[in-house]
């Protein structure tokens, strides 16, 4: 943006000079001046469009619930590394980086709802303390998230997305009972996924 502002005066002067350089004589001179003015107006309009553009980070504020804390956890260095099959006890104190495997051989507890032969997937076991409550799962990239209880996926009670929020893609809320549950991730483009699991109530 600063570059555009710096360059606008020079561009206008240059285009005015171009108009003066056009052959004298009413029709040609007027035509040259008109071209310069049209070009200058276009340049200024383009600069205004850039100035009015929304910063990418503002998309982070458009989610259905606040995600600043989750985003801070996801952007922190050295997330805890987890491999498929690991067991974790909730609550957690930071973000996780779940290593994934090709979805075709991931041995998932429920059929994946998303992804093709090139996608990655994984599953980890969670021990959830009582009482039953709402937990929030926020992920860094496109992924299908399933919380599996007694072999069946829970239906999320709420969902929100952030398409242009750096380091954060979407967040889901589940009413999860206490006990042993499985968190399944599928349809991921890369071989790992960062995620945060926090109480939502």
The reported pLDDT for the residue numbered 57 is 55
The pLDDT of residue 31 is 40
Residues belonging to the chain: 201
Regions of the chain with pLDDT less than 50: 1-55
Asked if 151 contacts 109 with a C-beta cutoff of 8 angstroms, the reply is yes
Give the pLDDT score at 7: 42
Comparing C-alpha atoms, which of 134, 141, 76, 92 is closest to residue 114?
A: 141
Dihedrals phi, psi of 79, to nearest 5 degrees:
-65, 155
pLDDT at 106: 92
Give 5-35 as a DSSP string: HHHHHHHHHHHHHHHHHSPSSHHHHHHHHHH
pLDDT of the residue at 37: 30
Helix/strand/coil for 83: coil
Residue 2: per-residue pLDDT: 41
């Amino acid at each position: 943006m600063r570059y555009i502002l710096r360059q606008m005066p020079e561009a206008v002067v240059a285009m005015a000079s171009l108009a003066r350089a056009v052959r004298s004589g009413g029709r040609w001179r007027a035509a040259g001046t008109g071209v310069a003015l049209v070009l200058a107006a276009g340049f200024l309009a383009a600069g205004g469009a850039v100035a009015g553009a929304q910063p990418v980070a503002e998309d982070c504020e458009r989610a259905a619930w606040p995600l600043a804390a989750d985003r801070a956890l996801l952007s922190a260095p050295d997330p805890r590394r987890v491999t498929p099959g690991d067991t974790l006890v909730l609550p957690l104190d930071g973000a996780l980086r779940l290593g994934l495997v090709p979805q075709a051989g991931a041995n998932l507890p429920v059929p994946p709802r998303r992804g093709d032969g090139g996608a990655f997937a994984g599953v980890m076991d969670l021990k959830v303390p009582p009482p039953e409550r709402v937990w929030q799962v926020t992920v860094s990239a496109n992924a299908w998230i399933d919380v599996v209880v007694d072999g069946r996926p829970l239906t999320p009670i709420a969902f929100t997305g952030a398409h242009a929020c750096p380091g954060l893609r979407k967040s889901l809320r589940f009413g999860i009972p206490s006990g042993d549950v499985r968190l399944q991730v599928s349809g991921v483009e890369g071989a790992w996924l960062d995620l945060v699991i926090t109480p939502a109530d």
